[in-house]
Amino acid sequence: MIIIYIHDPAYKLQPTLEQLKNYFNLTTAQARIAVRLYSNDSIADASKYLGISINTARSHLRSILAKTGAKTQAELLSLLASTLKTSTGKQH
């Protein structure tokens, strides 16, 4: 028997809005920002994509950091990745 495993190293699991809202008690707006940041958008790109001001996006990011306990955006992304890995049982 031969088993072939194909893995795309560029593939990343994406958190859903509901996962982020439930796990971290984020609002929908905060969860949308978190998803965009996890997708490698800058805060400026995320604000443009979501049609909100950069100041609103930064305010959401501050709230996200406070709710998750992350101190930096990089720490937040690491936390999201480890949470996804734990909640799905899959690696990305």
Residue ranges of domains in the chain: 17-86
Contact 65, 76 (CB under 8 A): yes
Query: For 35-80, what is each residue's pLDDT tens digit?
Result: 999 999 999 999 999 999 999 999 999 999 999 999 999 999 999 9
Helix runs in the chain, H state only: 17-24, 28-38, 43-50, 54-68, 73-88
Res. 15 pLDDT band, cuts 50 70 90: confident
pTM for this model (two decimals): 0.79
Indicate the length of the chain as a whole number.
92
Candidates 2.60.40.10, 1.10.3720.10, 1.10.10.10, 1.20.810.10; CATH matching 17-86 = 1.10.10.10
pLDDT number for residue 11: 52
Q: Is the pLDDT of residue 91 over 80?
A: no
Q: Is the pLDDT of residue 8 over 90?
A: no
